[in-house]
Structure 1
Amino acid sequence: MISFVAVIAIGGGGMLVWRLSGGGSGEAAAGEADASSLEALKKGSLTDGDLAKVDPAALFYASFKALTTQPVMHITMSSYQEKAEFDKNTPKYVWESGYDYRTKKWQLAWGSGDDDDGPVSYCDDNESHLYSFMSKKWLPVSRDDTMCAQKSAYRYITDGVSAGGLTAEQAEVWIRELRTEYEGLVNPGRVQPAEIDGRKYLRLVVDIKPTKRAGGLYIGGQSLMWSFKKTGLDPQAHPYSYTGGMGTGFHIEYLIDPKSLLPAYAEIELTPMLGEDGKPRLENFDFSGWRVQYHLPGKMPELRTARPERPALDWPGTGN
């Protein structure tokens, strides 16, 4: 990938490149956050000096709270099973979903990312439907299909890290757990400016790193679940789960709207679990990455229509 300094750039393959030379992760203490530093974001035009005053941890948790308290989650995602696919932005699957946490109604359009004529599965609440883009008609679906069951919604409605539908108090409980009981898990880098397609964002790299727990084991993703449960919510009734294994971590690159502090886009990769020596265990570790476009503040999309559209990720700077 091409490195760049202050703004978004386009890589040689025509895809969006966010990484900066010199990295950018692990620069803020995970257990500390100076919320007052976010006052610097209230200026109309932000300078590098303004952003240098912003505490990365405070920005992450403010954005996390804004995201997790959304009553409706509407996102488009693409998934990649090979690093080459991820770098070229040629996804294996693409889906768009909407979930209303108040009514439990949800919508999903899920299909192949490399077959424009392939069928697309649609969920309208808890009912499954299949549309053929080759024959331009709806096809019969097996009644044994469980893709659209309420219990399966968690797989499609969030970014694989966070959730939606929390009250402000519940979000604060989750954040407090992450910052204290799981200190060292969330590691935001410095806040940097980004501008693309005429829009300005805050770029924030966050590494969710497995931390050493009782018994000497390093726990990553499962710590998100354990801390989520402290809100008192049942992750089956309030659908939530994380992507990956209990010991894997995440490398995340967010583009955040500077006014709402809601994420607009994210690139996410799984990172390996750690052995008892604290070093990555690369054996049997397969690449997994995904991109997320957040349509927030959200409203429920109408995906199953008479002439539906294929789900497509509108990725900034690429035209696709």
Structure 2
Amino acid sequence: MVVALAVVIAGGVVYLQRSGGEAGNERPQADGTTPTATPSASASPSPTAGRDAARAAYLESLRQQALQPVVNVTREVYEGEESYPDGDHKAVISGIDYKTGAVRMEKTDVTVKAGKSEVSDSMWCRGRSEQWFLSTVRWSQVDVTCPSGLYQMYLNDGLVTGGLTKEEADVFVGKLNGWEGLVRGRGMSVVTRNGKQYVRLEIKVVPLRFDGLVAGAGMFMDALKWAEVDLTTHPYGLLLYDDSSLDIVRYVDPKTRLPAYMEMLETGEDTWIMHRVEYDFTHPVVETTKLPKTINIPRMTWPREGE
């Protein structure tokens, strides 16, 4: 069975939903009561103390990420097991300064033929007021706001946001922590990459059932609503299906507790999507002022898991 993608805009917030679902079905909301949540049938056993430590480290990393005023990311998205790791994918460079509003978004769809990567099309921002689309050899302006609607999903990592106050970040992470069985630690170790140590976290996000409804990745957006973040004005979009399960490997700087790299496998009904993300929280956002004649496909520097 093929499950179609639906882009849902509810209250100004953009997220993904499978066809047949109903936008607006009740889950825990900030202005309502919280139904009893139970893990779905695929939930794993209760974590050990070591797994609890991984979970706590992950949640603290989310908190630190949510507090950052600036983030730049390079990402690749592979839809379908047959495309990973060397097939068709989306390659994106993006950045956002939550204080000044500066943005960068350069999204390219890549096709691979006979082992050679080619650009099929691109969508770029030129500042906040121009969104441009490149098909074959010609650029065309398609919107006067950028990134518009759907494309806000490519700001940050498509799951978490930044630019929150301490109070908002505490509520956001507190809700994720409080939904029992949602975020599960699977392992934690110290590794070295390019001469620098990182904490490698293995995390599982398990869909929960709320009075017959199932929600997984979408609970991250719900947690932001509990934090009373106005998602009609705060740049955010959930780049995952609302009910997806997530297997996450996240490399965290032990000093800043910020992520450096993440691989996130999203699975669900007829769904297999690999998300790879490299983070940079130190450099300012450099907005695009001139559209290139030739697109250079963004390349990631962090090795894939297992390489």
C-alpha distance in structure 1 between counterparts of 2:133 and 2:271, whole Å: 30
* Equivalent in the alignment of 1:278: none
C-alpha distance in structure 1 between counterparts of 2:52 and 2:180, whole Å: 20
Aligned residues: 255
* Equivalent in the alignment of 1:295: 280
C-alpha distance in structure 2 between counterparts of 1:295 and 1:26, whole Å: 35
Deviation, 1:130, is: 4.9
CA RMSD of aligned residues (A): 3.0
Change in CA separation of 1:317 and 1:174 when aligned onto 2, cut-off 3 Å? closer
Q: Does residue 154 of the first structure (1) align with residue 125 of the second (2)?
A: no
User: Which digits, 9 at most, give the CA deviation of each residue in 1:163-222, with x for residues without a partner?
Assistant: 111111110011111112x12111122211222333321110111111122x23332122
Q: Does residue 312 of the first structure (1) align with residue 298 of the second (2)?
A: yes
Q: Does residue 199 of the first structure (1) align with residue 196 of the second (2)?
A: yes
One-letter code aligned to 2:296: R
* Equivalent in the alignment of 1:49: none
Deviation, 1:225, is: 1.6
After TM superposition, the score normalised by the length of structure 2 is 0.73
Of 108, 122, 125, 1:123 maps to 125
C-alpha distance in structure 2 between counterparts of 1:27 and 1:233, whole Å: 31
User: Which digits, 9 at most, give the CA deviation of each residue in 1:265-314, with x for residues without a partner?
Assistant: 11111122xxxxxxxxx4xx132121101112342024444657625132
Q: Does residue 92 of the first structure (1) align with residue 89 of the second (2)?
A: yes
Q: Would the aligned equivalents of 1:197 and 1:316 in 2 still touch at CA under 8 Å? A: no
C-alpha distance in structure 1 between counterparts of 2:297 and 2:243, whole Å: 31
Q: Would the aligned equivalents of 1:70 and 1:297 in 2 still touch at CA under 8 Å? A: no
Q: Does residue 269 of the first structure (1) align with residue 265 of the second (2)?
A: yes
Structure 1 or 2: larger strand share?
Answer: 2
Q: Would the aligned equivalents of 2:132 and 2:141 in 1 still touch at CA under 8 Å? A: no
After TM superposition, the score normalised by the length of structure 1 is 0.70
Q: Does residue 286 of the first structure (1) align with residue 281 of the second (2)?
A: no
C-alpha distance in structure 2 between counterparts of 1:117 and 1:251, whole Å: 29
Q: How does 1:54-65 map to 2 (within 5 A)?
A: 55-65=53-63
Instruction: Give the percent of matched residue pairs that are identical in Structure 1 and Structure 2.
Output: 24
User: Which digits, 9 at most, give the CA deviation of each residue in 1:11-70, with x for residues without a partner?
Assistant: xxxxxxxxxxxxxx87747xx9xxxxxxxxxxxxxxxxxxx7992122112111111111
User: Which digits, 9 at most, give the CA deviation of each residue in 1:72-130, with x for residues without a partner?
Assistant: 121011110121322x2445110101111112231111112334455533202230235
* Equivalent in the alignment of 1:189: 186
Change in CA separation of 1:298 and 1:187 when aligned onto 2, cut-off 3 Å? farther
* Equivalent in the alignment of 2:232: 236
Q: Would the aligned equivalents of 2:247 and 2:265 in 1 still touch at CA under 8 Å? A: yes
* Equivalent in the alignment of 1:251: 247
Q: Would the aligned equivalents of 1:28 and 1:187 in 2 still touch at CA under 8 Å? A: yes
